[in-house]
Amino acid sequence: VVSIQRKIKKHHLILRVTDKGYNFYIGTEKEFDKKAQNFFQDTKAFIELKENPFNKIQDNVIHLLNQIRAKHFIFQWQYNKMMPNRIKCQLAHLYFNPKTHKDGIPVRPIENTINAPTTNVSNYLDEIIRPIFDKECQNTTIIDGTSLIQALHQYMRKGLFKSTTLFCTFDIRNLYTMLPQEEALDILVEFLHVHGYT
């Protein structure tokens, strides 16, 4: 391990786990940085920070939770559940895993938000919204290969599967960086209202 570390340092290499396949990627720092810069250029979704915004983010989350609790929009137990843990909190950060299964070996962005100040809020919202989504969308959601086969059987039983039936697959590039946050929130609110939730 020490020998590998010396070679990596001496030759300015990087060693990364690949996006799929449990393999390792070895490349030059310069080459990997170029791949990351290409990603930034393509998406225009990120900017390099000149200063650490961690304290400001954490203060904003705590201030907002204090405000909505003071106005009795949430109960104390909800407030406690969403409050960031000041000891464990860290600034969210971005890193990349190479996609060796794709031509040109592009990179996949990974946003590490496990201990971010907003994570408890996200987890709580997921806890209350996901069951609604699962319930209302169960007839149109395919989660894995098994549910795809079941959906196809159901499609055949209805007599809709014919020799002229066309299948289409598509890959959405950089979905999470391309969704405008305000629009996503508007869609969520509309989804909840359509299904009778307020």
Q: Which residues contact 188 (CB under 8 A, 6 or more apart)?
A: 129
Question: Residue 88 half-sphere exposure, CB side, CA atoms within 13 Å?
Answer: 10
Q: Tell me the backbone φ, ψ of residue 94, rounded to 5 degrees.
A: -110, 135
Mean pLDDT computed over 140-169: 89
Contact 177, 46 (CB under 8 A): yes
d(Cα 9, Cα 24) in Å, to the nearest integer? 17
CA–CA dist 189, 182 (Å, integer): 11
Which segments within 100-149 are labelled E, that is strand?
A: 107-112
Query: Does position 178 have pLDDT exceeding 80, yes or no?
Result: no
**Beta strands at 24-28 and 13-17: parallel, antiparallel or unpaired:** antiparallel
Summarised one tens digit per residue, pLDDT across range 97-151 is 999 988 889 898 888 999 999 999 999 999 999 999 999 998 888 888 999 899 8
Q: Do the beta carbons of residue 178 and residue 45 sit within 8 Å?
A: yes
- Quick one: pLDDT band at residue 19, thresholds 50, 70, 90? confident
| Domain boundary assignment for the chain | 4-196
Given a cut of 90, is residue 21 above it in pLDDT? no
Q: Average pLDDT, stretch 75-83? A: 97
With contact defined as beta carbons under 8 Å apart, do 29 and 14 qualify?
Answer: yes
Evaluate whether 92 touches 112 at the Cβ level (below 8 Å): yes
SS3 content of the chain, % helix, strand, coil (to 5): 50, 10, 40
Confidence at 58, pLDDT banded by 50, 70, 90: very high
